[in-house]
């Protein structure tokens, strides 16, 4: 399906210094859904060998191997569970016989099942760090995609990214391992199966995969990744440290009508005019300048020059966002916040000369629940009527957007 068929509100454009990006093809309102996207490929973020599936402790880290929903714990003697194991490897578990049967024809084809079983039985990978094991999960899923959906495999190859030295080093280790897995005809050298292709796939994954995260829990401020997915349209969104859109997902919840639980919905945080680039933040917005820059260069290969980074690059090392937010409160009262709320509240509305022009963003659009760090976007408008209810994309908290607390801005140092 083309982007035009998925979203009448967005178009893909070349943006100087950023490759392709998503741009508003018309004015877009706060809360509007700009994209629903489905993954062309999903793979587990777990190590090759997991905890025993029959131990009670496994319940906390056990997901359906096709749709990645959380599975109930396996209780001894309980015959009522609808979960099923792969009949061939007895290692992978699925939430229902429907998911199993979909998986056997796609994500858990007989080749995937055999390849993962071989790796688990005896492979140099078992001694390697989790990152390499997860890259092996990805490569097996990607080479399987080449067989089950060559057109989706071409989409994967069309995503941004060229291998650098660290990717080539990982490919040099992983390619012989994957080659040794009784490669079937679809990964033969005649079909382009090579070290170069393995490197190319790894970099596409590195720059474009989205993490499907564990749900929010207030006693755990480091949500782990359950699975990764390649979302062909969402991959066109560039990063901004003050995003104007954010992603909602529903992996364990009931997704909106017509969506699968692994689909993403991208919703506007605030109004934007036609022609404005629509950006996501690739990670929670509370991170400080140096850790954002480090992540963006190491994980995505670019230096961020967004409005927020340009301001924060001038802060002294000891300045936290919290300090600056407190200073800012001395010069911005609620009337000013309200005025800004009524205007285009994009980054550009707040560019003028102060040390923390983006304090408004944190006060209005960052979830105040302890350890959440989610982003708030209004619920979709009803017809032309905007919603004043803000929803957190991490914990799901709903908040009245007409009132927001200017007394407290909690940020990471």
Contacts to ligand SAM by CB under 6 A? 17-21, 159-160, 207-208, 235-236, 238-239, 300-302, 304, 306
Q: Which CB, 145 or 279, lies closer to ligand SAM?
A: 279
- Closer to ligand SAM at the Cβ: 302 or 337? 302
CA 82 centroid distance within chain: 29
Alpha-carbon distances of 161 from 20, 72, 202, 210, 396, rounded to whole Å: 12, 38, 9, 15, 33
What is the smallest separation between the CB atom of 305 and ligand SAM, expressed in angstroms? Answer: 7
In 3D space, the residue among 218, 226, 278, 270 whose CA is nearest the CA of residue 249 turns out to be 226
235 or 359: CB nearest ligand SAM:
235
Instruction: Give the CB-nearest residue to ligand SAM.
Output: 19
- Least distance to ligand SAM from the beta carbon of 80, Å? 43
- Measured from the CB atom, the residue of 300 and 315 that comes closer to ligand SAM is 300
By three-state DSSP, how is residue 200 classified? Answer: helix
Distance CA 40, CA 371 (A): 31
277 or 323: whose CB is closer to ligand SAM? 277
183 vs 301 by CB, closer to ligand SAM = 301
CA Rg value for the chain: 23
Q: Which two tokens stand for residue 168?
A: 């080539």
Please state the closest distance from residue 279 (CB atom) to ligand SAM, in A: 7
- Helix H, strand E, coil C: the string for 53-120 is CCCHHHHHHCECCCCCCECCCCCCCCCCCCCEECCCCCCCEECCHHHHHHHHCCCCCHHHHHHHHHHH
Pairing of strands 238-239, 277-280: parallel
Rounded to whole angstroms, how far apart are CA atoms 344 and 363? Answer: 16
Rounded CA separation 319/19 (Å): 32
- Which residue, 101 or 294, is less far from ligand SAM as judged by CB? 294
Residue 167 C-beta: closest distance to ligand SAM, Å: 12
The residues near 98 (Cβ < 8 Å, ≥ 6 apart) are none
Residue whose C-alpha is closest to residue 29's, from 409, 404, 385: 385
């Amino acid at each position: 399906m083309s982007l035009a068929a998925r979203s009448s509100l967005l178009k893909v454009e070349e943006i100087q210094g950023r490759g392709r990006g998503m741009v508003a093809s018309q004015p877009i309102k706060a809360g509007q859904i700009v994209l629903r996207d489905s993954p062309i490929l999903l793979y587990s973020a777990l190590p090759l060998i997991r905890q025993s599936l029959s131990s009670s402790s496994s319940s906390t880290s056990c997901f359906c191997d096709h749709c990645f929903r959380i599975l109930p714990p396996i209780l001894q003697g309980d015959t009522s569970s609808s979960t099923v194991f792969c009949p061939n490897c007895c290692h992978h578990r699925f939430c229902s016989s429907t998911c199993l049967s979909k998986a056997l024809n796609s994500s858990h084809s007989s080749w995937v099942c055999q390849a993962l079983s071989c790796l688990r039985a005896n492979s140099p990978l078992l001694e390697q760090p989790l990152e390499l094991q997860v890259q092996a999960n990805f490569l097996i899923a990607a080479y399987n995609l080449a067989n089950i959906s060559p057109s989706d495999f071409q989409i994967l190859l069309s995503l941004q990214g060229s291998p650098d030295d660290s990717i080539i080093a990982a490919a040099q280790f992983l390619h012989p391992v994957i080659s040794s897995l009784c490669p079937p005809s679809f990964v033969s050298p005649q079909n382009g199966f090579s070290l170069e292709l393995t490197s190319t796939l790894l970099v596409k994954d590195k720059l474009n995969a989205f993490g499907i995260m564990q749900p929010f829990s207030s006693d755990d401020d480091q949500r782990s990744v359950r699975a990764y997915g390649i979302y062909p349209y969402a991959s066109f969104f560039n990063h901004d440290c003050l995003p104007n859109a954010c992603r909602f997902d529903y992996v364990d919840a009931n997704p909106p009508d017509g969506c699968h639980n692994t689909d993403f919905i991208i919703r506007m945080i605030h109004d934007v005019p036609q022609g404005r680039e629509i950006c996501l933040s690739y990670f929670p917005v509370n991170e400080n300048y140096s850790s954002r820059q480090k992540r963006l260069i190491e994980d995505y290969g670019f230096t961020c020059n967004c409005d927020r980074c340009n301001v924060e690059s001038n802060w002294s090392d000891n300045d936290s966002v919290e300090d600056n937010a407190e200073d800012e409160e001395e010069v911005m009262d609620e009337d000013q916040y309200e005025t800004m709320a009524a205007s285009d509240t994009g980054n550009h509305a707040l560019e003028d000369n102060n040390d923390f022009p983006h304090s408004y963003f944190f006060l209005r659009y960052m979830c105040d629940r302890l350890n959440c760090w989610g982003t708030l976007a209004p619920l979709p408008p009803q017809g032309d009527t905007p919603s004043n209810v803000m929803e957190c994309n991490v914990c799901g908290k709903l908040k009245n957007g007409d009132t927001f607390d200017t007394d407290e801005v909690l940020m990471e140092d």
